[in-house]
Structure 1
């Protein structure tokens, strides 16, 4: 029996970001997010009710927080915790390769 790989099932054509739930239970969800040159729409900010921990596994991205003047550059192995309600957006992902994120969404309390 072979294990599942994080890059299994990725389409050759990726017109929009791909969100895949890998595991979920209780108040926790683990997702694989794949971007290929995608970014948040102009003026759009994520404003989530749950906390998020995200790690970049492949590719490269710029993540912007509303409360920081400069975006955060993510390369493979970089991870960041995003508190619930902290507004953020994806400014840029590398267009010629898959940018693969592993995201854990959770609630506390």
Structure 2
């Protein structure tokens, strides 16, 4: 049985050039299967609200493909700046937030969420 291909380009624009940060962050689920989710996230100047922390029951591996961003992790005073190619593995229930994303160019993320913690 032939299956249809699902294709795309991670760098395709998601908002019109004149919309900018006012258009909001774009999150596209690319794959959702067997407890694994792969998302493309495009940020244009968005950050987590003050005092907000992500606390996911799933682990998350994220890579920044373009743009620039800074993550913060609860209990760690040092911010975690990211540039294209940087990736980080965030264990389940590791509280974190997006402190900053560039508003000069889109920050394109690829995020993989999966059950449990990291595997060796």
How high is the TM-score relative to the length of structure 2? 0.84
Report what 1:87 is aligned to. Answer: 95
Aligned to 2:8: 4
User: Partner residue of 2:64?
Assistant: 56
CA contact (8 A) 2:68 2:101 kept: yes
Count the aligned residue pairs: 108
1:23 corresponding residue in structure 2: 31
**Aligned residue for 2:113?**
105
Alpha-carbon distance in 2 for matches of 1:36, 1:48: 23
Structural mapping, 1:60-79, within 5 Å? 60-79=68-87
Deviation at 1:9, TM superposition (A): 4.5
Please identify the structure whose Cα radius of gyration is greater.
Answer: 2
Segments of 4+ moved more than 3 angstroms: none
- Give RMSD over aligned pairs: 1.6
Q: CA deviation at 1:108?
A: 3.3
Distance 1:81 1:67 in 2: 16
Name the SS for the 2:11 alignment partner.
Answer: coil
CA distance in 1, matches of 2:50, 2:85: 27
- 1:77 and 1:102 mapped to 2: Cα distance? 10
d(CA) in 1 for partners of 2:79 and 2:25? 20
